[in-house]
Amino acid sequence: MIDIHYVTFDCAQPYELAAFWSEATGLGFHPATEKDDDEVLLVGEKTNLLFIRVPEGKTVKNRVHLDVTGSAGTTRDQEVERLLALGATVQADRREADGGGWVTMLDPEGNEFCVCRSQAEREQG
């Protein structure tokens, strides 16, 4: 068995992308973070996200992506709207008439992630 230490994002602007994900997730910046750092860490109780500056741009679909759900009683659709306001964009809307499905979104640097129904929504059917 392994523990996941960090989920790492290669990116052009580590601080700016970390700021988006900090707002999205509520994770805080590591106290030693400076805006021009080549590596920026967001720290949480169970999850840490690391953003590393790389010279090449994103050219293809992510091989790994995050699936996220709302917390604190928010719905999938509320989270999609909140993330749009933070700067994400919708890549593909896979919501279904019966309430199922997900929305594939892109963060400000084009990394894919999916917004899924919350546990409460899944339990309600």
Instruction: Dump pLDDT digits (tens) for 59-118.
Output: 888 889 999 998 878 999 999 999 999 999 999 999 999 889 999 999 999 999 999 998
From residue 62, alpha-carbon distances to 1, 74, 110, 112 in Å are 25, 27, 9, 6
What is the C-alpha to C-alpha distance for residues 20 and 15, in angstroms, rounded to an integer? Answer: 9
Domains, the chain, ordered by start: 1-57 (3.10.180.10), 59-125 (3.10.180.10)
Percent of the chain with pLDDT strictly greater than 70: 99
Question: What is the reported pTM?
Answer: 0.92
Q: Where are the beta strands (DSSP E) in the chain?
A: 7-11, 28-29, 39-43, 48-53, 66-68, 89-93, 102-106, 112-116
Say what the pLDDT of residue 6 is: 94
